[in-house]
Amino acid sequence: MTLLGVTPDRVLEGYGWIEPAKADGRLTCGVRRFWEKPSLPQAHTLWQQGALWNTFVSVCNAGTLWRIVRDVVPDIYEEFLWIRGAIGTSYADKVTSQIYKRLRAVNFSAGVCQPRPEYIRVLPVPHIGWSDWGSAQCILTTCEQLGKKGEILARLRHMTAATAFNDMPRPAQY
């Protein structure tokens, strides 16, 4: 699996970070460690050490993904084997629905990638103005940087007003 890791231009809290392994002459680097939303002081240290923001934009061969999941969360792998076996049958929807109801939740970053960084490489990307848009504030900051914050807020106000009008109770028809 190869992830895009953006070269940060500042320290931000709430971002995932990738600590790349030493360069080995390839365009991509191995992954030494993942840091899922470290504290601000830790993020500052990572920034100084050349860590990258984790975009989680990735490319992966399906077989590699199956191996990672099998090795790290074998119970989930087994459940997906049931779904795989049901694909194309008349009972596929029922099997899939039943399995998803009982399937435990796993954070892909923390629960799958972090335990097995040896399966993952990172492609460092120079600063490109990337934001993970993980919150409304991140989106508004980007809009402000692009000089579009006022326009976007005006459109949102218009949309909110239109929605409120459409949700108003209508008088009964006679």
Domain 2-132 classified CATH 3.90.550.10? yes
- How much is the pLDDT for 133? 76
- How much is the pLDDT for 10? 87
- How much is the pLDDT for 174? 46
- How much is the pLDDT for 167? 62
20 vs 23: CA distance, rounded Å = 8
Give average pLDDT by consecutive 10-residue segment, the chain, 174 residues.
92 88 91 91 95 92 92 96 96 96 90 89 87 77 85 82 63 56
- How much is the pLDDT for 171? 62
Q: Where are the domains of the chain?
A: 2-132, 133-167
> Which among 116, 118, 128 has a CA at the least distance from the CA of 57?
128
